[in-house]
Amino acid sequence: MRKSKAPEKIFIESNEDLIKVLKSDISVDTARRIAMKYLNVVDFSVGTPDVDAKELFIEKIELYLKRFAHLPVSERPLFLDQKTTVFDITDLYNHDN
């Protein structure tokens, strides 16, 4: 991860960098926007902006990466809550990862 000259810009170059940024002192909403943009996924979860919500979101990101990071980006699921690469609508309702 490298920082630009402007302090508000950070370049995320790996999944490890993503996790470091998400664990830094940023809000849940900012973490969601960064992760969704970097992973090119959609997250339908709605949470409260507290520390627990952020920790749960980071766990969800880590699980997604564990399941799908080995795949090319074009073959990864579009939705963060998907359990397989084959879309199943129940994945969006059942949040038992």
Rounded (10°) CA dihedral 36, 42, 46, 50: -10
Residue by residue, DSSP assigns 33-58 as: HHHHHHHT-B------SSHHHHHHHH
Segments of the chain with pLDDT less than 50: 97
pTM of the predicted model over 0.75: yes
CA distance 23 to 26: 8
User: Each residue of 60-78: pLDDT tens digit?
Assistant: 999 999 999 999 988 999 9
**pLDDT at 92 (0 to 100):** 72
20 closest CA partner among 77, 58, 49, 65 = 58
